Structure 1
């Protein structure tokens, strides 16, 4: 250290000081300002990126809440539509059952009416056949009985006797 002090030159020191100050001024003018501006720009960019990320996070939270609300609404609407569809299905089934029952009762009534009509027609036909047979039998019996005169007289007297009783 003593050696440095012994070799100290004031002229050299001044020149070094001038060069150092000049270098600092040059650096300040040409290097420090651009470096500081770049650092400040980077800091502002980072701040803006953080703010954008925070806004995006809030937007995502809002969007998620909105999506959940829409999903809940869609589920409620789906449940309502399914309930309405079930009610319509039940109504259609009940209407179809009622209509089928009414049609069945109508067909049964028509069948009963047709059976009754056929029965009446058969009874009329049977009566007609019975009366025809009775007339034919009576005619044959009368022909055989009226073939002799004595039997005719007895029949007439019997009929007259029956007529007086009434």
Structure 2
């Protein structure tokens, strides 16, 4: 389990570091047509990852499959940058000016929460609070990996946003 804790911590810290490159004006600037701002992307991750943290810490049931069964599928889906996904409405960010220090603080709290949950809970149990479309109920291990790969996807996008704004 040390591996997943380290991977989650490294990924979520990389997100915080990437976001720290944006000052308040760049954070809320649309880089190109059809794109979110960096602030919206970070808020999307706050909403999504906080939701997954609640699910991981929430009710659970015994698992009737290998605890890591969907990890490779989730990885393949989210690290395929040729496919565009639409965000579910409940984690779609508002169009507004975001505060960099508020976003950073929220992301840090989530990182610490994920690390604590992954270190203290039985990751082989199945989370029963939320049935994820396309995947069903995830084990806690799969849910942590969902956070990792979903975040890695958005770090890639955040770098593209930064490079686009930096070149203008």
Shorter-normalised TM range: under 0.3
TM-score, reference length from structure 1: 0.20
Larger % of helix: which? 1
Higher relative contact order, chain-length normalized (CA < 8 Å, sep 6+): 2
Larger Rg: 1
